[in-house]
Amino acid sequence: MFKLIMNKEDLAEIEQNIQVPIKPKKLSSLSIKPSNRVNINSLMSKVREEERKQKKENLFFFGFISIVILTTGVIASL
């Protein structure tokens, strides 16, 4: 078995070798700066787009149900 003996000098050297976390650099003028403002136009366009998708889904669902009812009626009348 190995016996590991450490003295104060070894401990001091190990403490010096421990890496200290580096603080992130500040954003330079060329990089994108975070903005506290919200662009209302982009939010409104997203809402309108979601509404359009929902209308298409509703129209598709209504059309599918209508076709099923009409098909059932035609088959039942024969």
Question: Mind listing the pLDDT tens digit for each residue in 10-54?
Answer: 666 666 666 555 665 655 555 666 668 889 999 999 999 999 999
Q: Give 35's DSSP letter.
A: -
Q: What is the mean pLDDT of residues 68-74?
A: 96
Question: Is the model's pTM score more than 0.75?
Answer: no
- Rounded-to-integer distance, Cα 78 and Cα 11, Å: 95
- Rounded-to-integer distance, Cα 27 and Cα 30, Å: 8
Rg (CA), the chain: 35
Please give the pLDDT value at position 29.
56
pLDDT interval class at 78 (50, 70, 90): confident
